[in-house]
Amino acid sequence: MSFGHEPLAITPDGRGIARWWASVEAADGQTIDDLEGIFLVTFDPDGRCTDFREWWNSRVGPRR
């Protein structure tokens, strides 16, 4: 499995938006699934997460 992410925005009131993606592979190296999504996270003044929302999409390719 591989995973990556990139921050898209951080606001002064403690919210952050990030894009993420992951690829799941079988033992033979064939890609089973590609995933991509968005995290929306809100932090309190101490840096603790108070709200976490996630949206994602699965892009399964044709099997060979």
**40-52 residue pLDDT tens:** 999 999 999 999 9
pTM: predicted TM-score of the whole model, two decimal places: 0.74
- Residue 52 β-bridge partners: 41
Domain borders along the chain are: 2-53
pLDDT digits (tens, 9 = 90+) for 12-64: 999 999 999 998 888 887 778 889 999 999 999 999 999 999 999 987 765 55
pLDDT at 59: 79
| HEC profile of 7-61 | EEEECCCCEEEEEEEEEEECCCCCEEEEEEEEEEEEECCCCCEEEEEEEEEEECC
| Token pair in block for residue 54 | 């996630």
